[in-house]
Chain A
Amino acid sequence: MAPMKILVAAKRVVDYSVRVRLTPDRTGIASDGVKMSVNPFDEIALEEALRIRERGEATQVVVATVGPPEAESQIRSLLAMGADRGIHVETGRETAPLEVAHVLFRLVQEIGPGLVILGKQAIDDDCGQTGPMLAALWDRPQATYVSKLTLSEGRVQAVREVDHGLETVELVLPAVITTDLRLNTPRFIKMPDIMKARQKPLEKRPFDGFGLDLPRLTVEAYLPPPEREAGLRLESVAELVTRLHDRGVL
C-alpha cells in the first residue's frame, strides 16, 4: 500500500460546558472570557486518524483549522494529541461551511490525503455541511455520522448512525468521513507531548490568500429561545378541571 496521509479538519468553538449567551445588542454570541475548545466531534476525528496511523495504515496525520489567531491554542492541543503537523488558516471573521469546504479542498489538492476525517458538525452552529460540501467539491465518496471505521485494500468500511438504526457502507479511497460520538473516546493529552507539540510544524496562512469569492449568508439577528413560562401547582383535580374549563380546553 502506498503511504497514506490523513487530513483532519477541526474548529475552535465555545466549550460545551458553557451556556451560550447573546451579546447585549444581540449581534452575536458573547465571547468575553468564555472557554473555547476544539469541537468535540473533531477530537474524535483526530483520535480515529491517530489510531489508523498507529495501526500502520497511514503515515502522516495533518490537522487543519480555519479560525482566528487565538485558534492556535486549539491546533497546538491537537498537535499535542498526536497530529504530525498543522495548518492554521487565519481569519478574523466568521466563515461559512462552503468557504471552509473550499479551503479544505485546496489543502486536499496540495496534500493528497487518502482520507479526510471531520466532525459530523460543529457544536456552535450545528451546520453539519462542511464534510459533505468537501466531498462534493472533491467529487469523492463520503460517509457521514460514522461510528465504526475499518480500512482494507484501498477501501474503507464505515458504519453510519442513521435514523432507522445502523447502515454499513463501503467506500473507495480517497474518501471523506464525518464522525459521530460513538466512534471512539479521544485520548488525554500528556504533559511531555505538549512540549513536543511546540516543536511540530504549524503553517499559518491568511484566509484572504485563498482568494475565495463566494456568496455568503448574512445573519440578520440572533434571538434567545423563548423562555418557558413557570408552571402552576394545583391543589386538587377539581381545581385542574376548573382551570381547564376557564381556558376553554374542556
Chain B
Amino acid sequence: MTEADRLRYDVLVIGAGPAGLACALTLKREKPELSVAVLEKAASLGAHSLSGAVIEPAWVDRLLPGWRDDPLDIQVPVSRDRFAWLSHGRAFRLPTPPQMHNAGNWIVSLGALVRRLGAAAESAGVEIFPGFAATQPLWDRAGALAGVRVGDLGRTREGAPGPNFSPGVEVRAGVTVLAEGCRGSLSRTLIRHFGLDQGKSPQTYALGLKELWQLPPGRTVPGSVLHTVGWPLPTDLYGGGFVYHLDRDRLAIGFVVGLDYEDPDFSPFEAFQQFKHHPGLVGLFEGGEILSAGARTLIEGGYPALPTLEMPGGLLVGDAAGTLNVPKIKGVHMALGSGIRAALHLIQNGGPEGFDQNFRHSEAGRELWRVRNIRPGFRAGLWVGLANAAVETVTGGRVPWTLTNADDWRSLKPRGPVPRPHRRYRTRILPPADRLAFVDLAALHHEENQPVHLQVADPALCVSQCSARFGNPCTRFCPAGVYEIVTDAGGSRLQINAANCVHCKACDIKDPYELITWVPPEGGSGPNYANL
C-alpha cells in the first residue's frame, strides 16, 4: 500500500446519521482546526436513514439555527396525539402515556434531516464520504483503535478482483467515533474485542417497517399522530403501529415488533401489512400511492444493556451504542445529544477517556436510567408491561431493581410444542402485494456480482436442523425476502438473495443459531430511501 492510499484525520466518524453528523458538526464548529471526516455506506446522505420520526426539536434548534423557517422535505408540527389499542375490528382509545406526549414536537423525515445536517457539516469543513463502507478496524502498536479500512470495490462473487477493481484504503484517525446506528457491524466487532458489553444486560432489538404514502386529497389531518398496540399482534408480542399525517396529502405509516418474539412462524412484514388493513385504517389508503418503503432494526436494550461507551482510540454514540428511549419511542434527540456530547468531551479531554461516565451522568444518561425498566416489563406481556410502565413512570424509575433483557436469538420456541396462534388475518388488497414489491419501493442498488455480504457460518445446518426445529424463520423475519429455502434435484438448500437486502440487520440479530453475520457490501449498495 502506498502512502497515498492512507488518509489521516484527527477524528473519523463512522456513519452519517444524526449521531455522527451532530458529532462531526459540533467538533468542527467548536474547534475548526481539527480535521474531521465522516464515512457513510449509503450512496448519498440519508439514503439508509429510516425512522418514524416524531422528534424533540431542542438539539436540532441548536445544530441548525433557523431550520424551522426553511422546512425540510417533511417537517410538520404535531397537532394531535392519540394512543389506541386495536382489537380485530375496533380501536379503543387509551390515555396517552406521559412519555408519548408530543406537544412541541415535529414529524420529520430522518433522511431529510440527515441531508440538512450533512450540508451544514460540509460547509463547516467536515469531509463527508458517501459510498464508502468501513469494514475493518485498524490498530496501533498499543492495541488501540487507530482508524478503519474501507471496503474494496469491484470484487467478483468469488472474491477475485474484477475488471474495475478498486482496493479499499486505510483511513487513520486519532479518535474514531462509531455512529453506525443499530447493530453496526464495526461497532459489534469492537464491542466484542474490547469486552464493552461485559457485566451488562444482553441487548434487545426490534424491527421497524415503514411506508411513505401519497394519498388522494383531503384525507389527512396534518400533524396528527397515532400510536397503536394490540392487533394484529398477540398480547405476548411487544410492538405496535404508528400513523403520522404529514402535509401535502402525505402520510407515514409503520409498524415495530420486538425481536424477542417466540413464534418462529411470525412474519413482521405480514403483521405490518395486516395492520394497514385494520378497519379503522384501510380506508385511508385506497387510491393512494407508496412513495418509498423500507425497514430497519431499532436498539431497545436501554440503560441496562448500554455498553461501555469508550475504548482506547474510539467511542460509541447514538444507536451504535443504544441510546434510544423506548417509552418515548424516540432516538433521534438522544442520537443528536450523544453526538454533541461526544464532540464536546473530545475537545475538553483530548480523547475518549471518561466519556462513558460523562454520558451516564448527563441529562440524557439520566433520562435513559429513569425508563430502564419499562421495555423489559413487556417481556411479561402487553398488560403487565403497561402496568409496570405506569409504576416506573410514577416513581421516575426510583425503584430498587433493574430488570434485564434476554438475547433475541434465543427467544424463538421450536415449532412443535407451541400451538400456532389463530391470527384472523385478512385478505389483503393494498400494495405492496408481497415482499418483492415492498423491496422494489426501497429503490435498491446492489451490484449482483459482488461477494455475498450475508455470511452464513454453516449453511448445511439450515436444512439439517433449523428446517425441522424452527421451519427456517429467516425466510419470514427478513422483511426483504433475502432468505429462501429452495428444493431441487440436489435436495434443499438456503438461497441468499443478497441484492434484496435493505440493511436492516434483523437476520444478524434474530437467527436462532447465530449463524448469520451481516457485513457491509460494496460502498454505495443498498436502499435509496426517499425521505423515510
Contacts and interface: CB of A to CB of B under 8 A. Distances in A.
Contacts of B44: 35-36
Contacts of A34: 530
A191 B169 contact: yes
Contacts of B111: 33
Interface in B2-30: 4-5, 7
A30 interface: yes
Contact of A17 (B112, B127, B292, B528): B528
Given A17-B444, A35-B44, A185 B164 contact: yes
B434 to A, nearest CB: 14
A18 B291 CA distance: 10
Q: 6 nearest interchain CB pairs?
A: A33-B531, A33-B530, A188-B166, A17-B445, A188-B153, A35-B528
Contacts of B171: 191
A238 to B, nearest CB: 28
A186 interface: yes
Given A18-B443, A191-B7, A191-B169, A186 B164 contact: yes
29 contacts: A15-B443, A15-B528, A17-B443, A17-B445, A17-B528, A18-B443, A18-B528, A18-B530, A19-B440, A21-B289, A24-B214, A24-B217, A24-B249, A32-B530, A33-B109, A33-B111, A33-B292, A33-B529, A35-B43, A35-B44, A185-B163, A187-B164, A187-B166, A188-B164, A189-B131, A190-B169, A191-B150, A192-B4, A194-B129
A30 B164 contact: no
Contacts of A189: 131
Residue of A21, A35, A192 contacting most chain B CB atoms (<10 Å): A35
Interface string A188-221: 1111101100000000000000000000000000
Contacts of A35: 43-44, 47, 443, 528, 530
Contacts of A190: 166, 169
Q: Among B109, B528, B531, which residue has the most Cβ atoms of chain A within 10 A? A: B528
Chain B interface size range: 35 or more
Contacts of A186: 164
B154 interface: yes
A192 B7 contact: yes
Contact of B248 (A18, A24, A192, A195): A24
Interface in A1-52: 15, 17-19, 21, 24, 30, 32-36
Nearest to A73: B44
B443 A188 contact: no
Interface in B440-458: 440-441, 443-445
Contacts of A33: 46, 73, 109, 111-112, 115, 292, 529-531
Contacts of B5: 192
B378 interface: no
Contacts of B166: 187-188, 190
Contacts of A18: 443, 528, 530
A189 B169 CA distance: 12
Contact of A32 (B73, B169, B217): B73
B277 to A, nearest CB: 19
A11 to B, nearest CB: 17
Interface string B151-168: 001100000000110100
B462 to A, nearest CB: 30
A19 B441 CA distance: 8
B255 interface: no
B171 to A, nearest CB: 7
A69 to B, nearest CB: 12
A193 B391 CA distance: 57
B83 interface: no
Given A15-B445, A35-B530, A187-B164, 5 more contacts: A15-B43, A18-B530, A19-B443, A35-B47, A36-B44
